[in-house]
Amino acid sequence: MLTRWDMVSQKEHLREHIAYPLLYELREAPLGRRTLVERTGLTESVVRTELEKLEAHRWVKFSKRGTALTPRGKRRFESCWKRLLSVQEIRLERLMLDRVGYGAHVRGLNGEIRSWLYRDHAVRLGATATLFLTQRPTGLTLTDETTPLEKRSPRDAQELQKHFPKLRSGDLLIIGFGPERGRALQGLWAILCALVEKS
């Protein structure tokens, strides 16, 4: 006889750009639904629906303390969280391409990043713009340039270093922009899902 865990249908198919930010927020401690809504910019109904799908995959469990990752969920996403060191809201001066910006610090990706391809993922899910930066020995630069950002926009370079102090040579910084939090974050997570899962 099939258990409810075995019956993950097409209707319960995960939307990674929504599931991953929820799992990321749960990586350290259980959280309540309202906190997840606040942190992800998703609506309460979307959070509830996606958490139910994650429970069907046995990656999360519900309790009075909130939703928590299961041991199975921790094992499944441990390597992803090792690559994805930080995701946070940022405000820039010259490089702010819309009202809201979220940046992600990614480590350990191999090969060249085709930023135009990932940018399309983000725009399809509501982001209005993206930036891809690489930490080089000479400093933080746009991925397709070699001039340090510090020379072009010193205040933005300082702000990014302040938000992401653990940047090392070869690390990637990806920023998604949008008119509001949900769209900026979903666009950014569309990129992160594609990047982290492929490597």
Of the candidates 87, 68, 148, 144, the one whose C-alpha atom is nearest the C-alpha of residue 112 is 144
- Both structure tokens of 53: 């799908």
Across all residues in the chain, what is the average pLDDT? 88
pLDDT of 57-68, one tens digit each?
A: 999 999 999 999
What does the pLDDT average to over 86-98?
Answer: 95
CATH of the domain spanning 83-198, picked from 2.60.40.2220, 3.40.190.10, 3.30.1360.30, 3.60.21.10: 3.30.1360.30
Rounded to whole angstroms, the Cα distance separating 20 from 18 reads 6
Rounded to whole angstroms, the Cα distance separating 138 from 84 reads 23
Rounded to whole angstroms, the Cα distance separating 164 from 85 reads 9
pTM of the model: 0.86
CATH of the domain spanning 4-69, picked from 1.20.1070, 3.30.420, 1.10.287, 1.10.10: 1.10.10
Q: Is the pLDDT of residue 118 over 70?
A: yes
Task: State the pLDDT at residue 3.
Answer: 38
User: Is residue 193 exposed (0-12), middle (13-18) or buried (19+ Cβ within 10 Å)?
Assistant: buried
Ranges of each domain in the chain: 4-69, 83-198
What does the pLDDT average to over 88-103?
Answer: 95
What does the pLDDT average to over 137-160?
Answer: 94
User: Is residue 1 exposed (0-12), middle (13-18) or buried (19+ Cβ within 10 Å)?
Assistant: exposed
Q: Is the pLDDT of residue 6 over 60?
A: no
